[in-house]
């Protein structure tokens, strides 16, 4: 899902619609929420939460890299890689 987020964050449609209902990226966020709820507890849930935080930061920054996006990306990757 990170690869998908990377692909959509810089698009014009993301800048216009974000994850809003009816927009082209709404389904991505819905899938993330569904996967997070299915993950139960533990590392997977933490990872999905960090990915959701990263997506929110990209929404705020209109897809630009910031100190916050770099932080959440690192935390996400460290979590899923078991560091």
Place 2 in a pLDDT band, splitting at 50, 70 and 90: very high
**Cα gap 43→59, rounded to integer Å:** 24
| Predicted confidence (pLDDT) at residue 4 exceeds the cutoff of 90 | yes
For 13-65, the pLDDT digits (tens) are 999 999 999 899 999 999 999 998 888 888 888 999 999 999 999 999 999 99
pLDDT of residue 41: 80
- Rounded distance between C-alpha atoms, residue 52 and residue 29, angstroms: 8
Query: So what's the pLDDT on residue 44?
Result: 85
Q: What is the pLDDT of residue 59?
A: 93
Interatomic CA distance for residues 35 and 30, integer angstroms: 9
């Amino acid at each position: 899902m990170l690869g998908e987020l990377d692909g959509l964050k810089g698009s014009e449609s993301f800048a216009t619609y974000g994850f809003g209902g009816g927009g082209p990226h709404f389904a991505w966020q819905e899938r993330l929420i569904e996967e997070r709820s299915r993950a139960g507890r533990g590392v997977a849930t933490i990872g999905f939460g960090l990915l959701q935080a990263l997506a929110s930061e990209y929404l705020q920054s209109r897809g630009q890299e910031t100190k916050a996006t770099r932080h959440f990306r690192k935390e996400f990757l460290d979590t899923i890689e078991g560091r």
